[in-house]
Amino acid sequence: MTDITKTTFLFTICIITFFSCQQVSTHTQAIETKKSSALQNIKNKPYTLNKSSVHHLISSINHKKYDIYVKLPPSYKKTEKAYPILVLTDAGYAFPLVASISRRLFFAKRLEEFIIVGISYAKGEHFGISRTRDYTPTYSPNETLGYSKAARSASGQADKFIEFIKKDLFTFLDKTYRVDLNKKVFAGHSLGGLLANYMVVSAPETFEYYLSGSPSLWYHNQSIFTIEEKYAQQHKNLSANLYMCIGDKEDNQGPYKMVSQMFEFHKKLLSRSYKNLRVEALSLPGEDHETMYPSFITKGILWAFKTE
Question: Domain residue spans in the chain?
Answer: 1-45, 52-305
Burial of 263 (0-12, 13-18, 19+ CB in 10 A): middle
Q: pLDDT by residue for the chain (308 residues), tens digit each?
A: 555 555 554 445 544 444 454 554 555 454 455 555 555 666 677 778 888 899 999 999 999 999 999 999 999 999 999 999 999 999 999 999 999 999 999 998 889 999 999 999 999 999 999 999 999 999 999 998 889 999 999 999 999 999 999 999 999 999 999 999 999 999 999 999 999 999 999 999 999 999 999 999 999 999 999 999 999 999 999 999 999 999 999 987 777 899 999 999 999 999 999 999 999 999 999 999 999 999 999 999 999 999 76
Distance between CA 154 and CA 171 in Å, rounded?
A: 26
Taking alpha carbons only, the member of 114, 191, 198 closest to residue 145 is: 191
**Ramachandran category for residue 273: left, alpha or beta (phi over 0 → left; psi -120 to 50 → alpha):** left
Res 2: pLDDT: 55
Distance between CA 98 and CA 103 in Å, rounded?
A: 8
Res 34: pLDDT: 54
Distance between CA 11 and CA 291 in Å, rounded?
A: 75
Res 97: pLDDT: 97
Continuous segment of H or E residues that includes residue 276: strand 275-284
DSSP, res 258: H
Q: E strands within 106-178?
A: 115-119
Architecture of domain 52-305: 3-Layer(aba) Sandwich (3.40)
Give pTM, 2 decimals. Answer: 0.85
Res 256: pLDDT: 83
**Buried-exposed string 161-186: b where 16+ CB fall within 10 A, e elsewhere:** bbbbbeebbbebbeeebebeeebbbb
DSSP, res 125: S
Res 136: pLDDT: 98
Res 45: pLDDT: 73
Res 1: pLDDT: 53
Task: For residue 270, report the phi and psi dihedrals to the nearest 5 degrees.
Answer: -65, -35
Task: For residue 123, report the phi and psi dihedrals to the nearest 5 degrees.
Answer: -65, 135
Res 48: pLDDT: 80
